[in-house]
């Protein structure tokens, strides 16, 4: 029986160990490494929220590994992560929330198959040349990162033509020399379908127009993009015939009322107040004074349902 158990354990392909090692006195990373060494079929591991991991155990992960999540693992050391990257070269998904390490380009250089990259709260600047090695990226989440620069946007747009999902929410794009913001390169991404630019408070109607110029977007999140006008929103939605989700929370009532007029063609979704007219949905602020009755001129009442 023990032999059967050992064989079954060794065949595990997916392992989730989230928030498991919080007591330093009862945690031995060498023991965890020994477990990883026995899991040579492992392709997917989630180690999020384990503060005491230094990363030495990562060196014993299977060469077959494809998905790695180490968000909020504040003890991870760059040297271990870099050594692991040279061994596990099949990585296609990487999540490092609260990333605090510099020189991550030395890690990504070993992952040419990387398709999904999440680096929220990235605390250091990023070498934009790294995108030359990440041409397979279809998802890039760089939310709440202080170093979202024009150079990064340009490099991403030039090197990642397959990109479909982009999240740059939390901090505006800036240029350390001129202060100018240039969204135009995003318009070159022919495959882009989902964009989150929440909290980009200086983004203008012209900027939004440059982003949606191809008319391919299905999701557009504009929470607290306060410089946009209702005319800019109308132009953007008119260009995007496939738009299904639109977030305009944090905007004034007149702006949100314009969004209501698009319920017959668009879905607006956030975590606040949601309206749906199948297959579309719209989300507004709970504090908004807008009523369903106000949009009856645009939508038949019995097709408009408020979701709790």
Written in H, E and C, the secondary structure of the chain is CHHHHHHHHHCCCEEECCCCCCCHHHCCHHHHHHHHHCCCCCCEEECCCCCCCCCHHHHHCCCCCCEEECCCCCCCCHHHHHHHHHHCCCCCEEECCCCCCCCCHHHHCCCCCCCEEECCCCCCCCCHHHHHHCCCCCEEECCCCCCCEHHHHHHHHHHCCCCCEEECCCCCCECCCCCCCCCHHHHHCCCCCEEECCCCCCCCHHHHHHHCCCCCCCEEECCCCCCCCHHHHHHHHHHCCCCCEEECCCCCHHHHHHHHCCCCCCCCCCCCEEEEECCEEEEECCCCCCCHHHHCCCCCHHHCEEEC
- Residue whose tokens read 């006008």: 229
- Residue whose tokens read 């390490």: 101
| Cα–Cα distance for residue pair 228/112, rounded to 1 Å | 37
Longest dimension (CA), the chain: 70
Looking at residue 260, its pLDDT comes to: 59
| Cα–Cα distance for residue pair 5/150, rounded to 1 Å | 54
Looking at residue 51, its pLDDT comes to: 82
Higher-confidence residue of 271 and 103: namely 103
Q: For 20-29, 163-172, 207-216, which range has the lowest pLDDT when averaged over its residues?
A: 20-29
pLDDT band at 68 (very low <50, low <70, confident <90, very high): very high
Would you say domain 2-216+223-240 falls under CATH 3.80.10.10? yes
φ and ψ at 189, to 5 degrees? -80, 95
Which of 190, 228, 188, 191 minimizes the C-alpha distance to 207?
Answer: 228
Looking at residue 60, its pLDDT comes to: 94
Looking at residue 86, its pLDDT comes to: 96
Predicted TM-score (pTM) of this structure: 0.82
Q: Could you tell me how far CA 85 lies from the centroid of its own chain? A: 21
pLDDT band at 72 (very low <50, low <70, confident <90, very high): confident
CA dihedral (232, 238, 242, 244) positive or negative: positive
Q: Where in the chain is the domain with CATH 3.80.10.10?
A: 2-216+223-240
CA dihedral (201, 202, 205, 210) positive or negative: negative
Higher-confidence residue of 75 and 161: namely 161
pLDDT at 274 over 50: no
| Cα–Cα distance for residue pair 298/264, rounded to 1 Å | 8
CB neighbourhood size of 15 (10 A):
15
73 class by beta-carbon count within 10 Å (0-12 exposed, 13-18 middle, 19+ buried) = buried
Looking at residue 211, its pLDDT comes to: 94
The partner residues of 117 in beta bridges, in order of sequence, read 94, 140
Which of 194, 211, 189 minimizes the C-alpha distance to 135?
Answer: 189
Averaged confidence pLDDT in the chain: 79
With beta carbons less than 8 A apart as the criterion, state whether 235 and 244 touch.
Answer: no
As given in the structure block, the two tokens for residue 231 are 């005319």
């Amino acid at each position: 029986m023990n032999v059967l158990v050992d064989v079954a354990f060794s065949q595990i392909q997916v392992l989730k160990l989230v928030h498991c090692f919080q007591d330093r006195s009862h945690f031995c990373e060498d023991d965890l490494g020994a477990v990883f060494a026995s899991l040579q079929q492992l392709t997917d591991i989630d180690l999020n929220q384990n503060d005491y991991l230094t990363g030495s155990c990562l060196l014993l992960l299977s060469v077959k590994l494809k998905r790695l999540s180490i968000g909020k693992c504040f003890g991870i050391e760059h040297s271990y992560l870099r050594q692991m990257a040279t061994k596990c070269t099949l990585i296609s998904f990487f999540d490092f929330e609260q990333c605090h390490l510099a020189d991550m380009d030395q890690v990504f250089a070993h992952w040419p198959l990387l398709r999904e990259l999440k680096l929220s709260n990235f605390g250091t600047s990023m070498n934009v040349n790294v995108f030359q090695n990440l041409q397979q990226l279809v998802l890039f989440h760089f939310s709440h990162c202080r170093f979202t620069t024009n150079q990064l946007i340009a490099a991403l747009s030039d090197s990642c033509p397959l990109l479909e999902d982009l999240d740059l929410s939390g901090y505006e794009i800036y240029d350390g020399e001129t202060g100018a913001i240039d969204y135009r390169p995003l318009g070159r991404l022919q495959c882009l379908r989902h964009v989150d630019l929440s909290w980009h408070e200086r983004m203008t109607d012209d900027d939004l127009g440059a982003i949606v110029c191809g008319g391919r977007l299905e999701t557009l999140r504009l929470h607290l993009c306060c410089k946009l006008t209702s005319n800019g929103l109308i132009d953007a939605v008119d260009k995007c015939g496939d738009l299904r989700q639109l977030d305009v929370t944090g905007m004034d009532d007149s702006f949100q009322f314009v969004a209501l007029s698009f319920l017959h063609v668009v879905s607006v979704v956030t975590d606040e107040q949601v309206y749906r007219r199948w297959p579309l949905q719209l989300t507004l602020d709970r504090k908004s004074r807008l009523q369903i009755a106000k949009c009856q001129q645009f939508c038949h009442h019995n097709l408009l349902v408020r979701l709790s």
